[in-house]
Homo-oligomer: A and B are copies of this chain.
Amino acid sequence: MKVVKTVSELRDAVSAARQSGQNIGLVPTMGALHKGHGALIDRARAESGCVVVSIFVNPIQFDKKEDYEKYGRAMESDLAFCRERGTDLVFAPDEAEMYPQPQRVFVEARALSEYLCGMFRPGHFRGVATVVTKLFNMVQPDRAYFGEKDAQQLAIIQAIAADLNMPITIVPVATVREEDGLAISSRNVRLDTDQRSRAATLYRALRAAADRLASGARPVEARLAAINVLREQPSIRVEYLEIVDPQTMRPVEEIHGPVRVAAAVWIGETRLIDNVLQVHR
């Protein structure tokens, strides 16, 4: 496994792999790697001659400076994690390499950013869209892998690839969960034992809505079922809980195709997001 820190070394390594006939799979991450990232790397490994993992905590996607500073960093264990999973190339640039001057050009999908997380984290998805576009242009992968847990991010990145005509296939990978259903996230370590024991309520709430939809309930009823599950735990504060179209990420009032039940909740000082896809019968 090769580890590079500059765009120029990255381009050289990728272009050597391509010249030897390998296709390129990219897994963009912010480090603090866990089983969720592992599923992305495994999928890339199965489909690619050369697996590239990028590790960069992207300052321009944090709406609050303290969130950027407290975001987990664990380069040594991340590199070991990548090595064990058969990664070929790790790109771990510093901030000056990614942003040699203040960024002037941004990529935005405002229509997809108006609801859900985008409503509560102004500028977040602009920062994500911009750094992902930069990474895509640096690596020029054939495929790039993103987790379904960040469903709005996934929808935005699929829109970027389609609407900006990038020759890249975006591969969604199913959310990895703990035994009790909690979606694996780097934020879970911030939960204390008591909070952790209540965190799976989020997934139970989403499932309750999805099960109601499967029985033919309307979105308004399914949403209420989910909110009632969350009310059992008054210490969980709901930021949003919506039933949305998976492409437009806008709330739906009637079911005409697949939907996502998506929520963000706060447990103490920790914000958790999760979603489940419900395909109509």
Contact = CB atoms under 8 A, between A and B. Distances in A.
A68 interface: no
Contact of A164 (B108, B134, B163): B134
Given A7-B165, A133-B164, A134-B165, A105 B105 contact: no
A256 interface: no
A227 B281 CA distance: 71
A241 B110 CA distance: 33
Contacts of A103: 163
Contact of A107 (B7, B106, B166): B106
A129 interface: yes
Chain multiplicity (copies): 2
B108 A106 contact: yes
B137 A167 contact: yes
A160 B109 CA distance: 17
Interface residues of A, number: 27
A138 B161 CA distance: 11
A104 interface: yes
A7 B11 CA distance: 26
A173 interface: no
A96 interface: no
A209 B203 CA distance: 67
Interface string A132-160: 01100110100000000000000010011
Contacts of A106: 107-110
A138 B168 CA distance: 11
Nearest to A113: B104
A171 interface: no
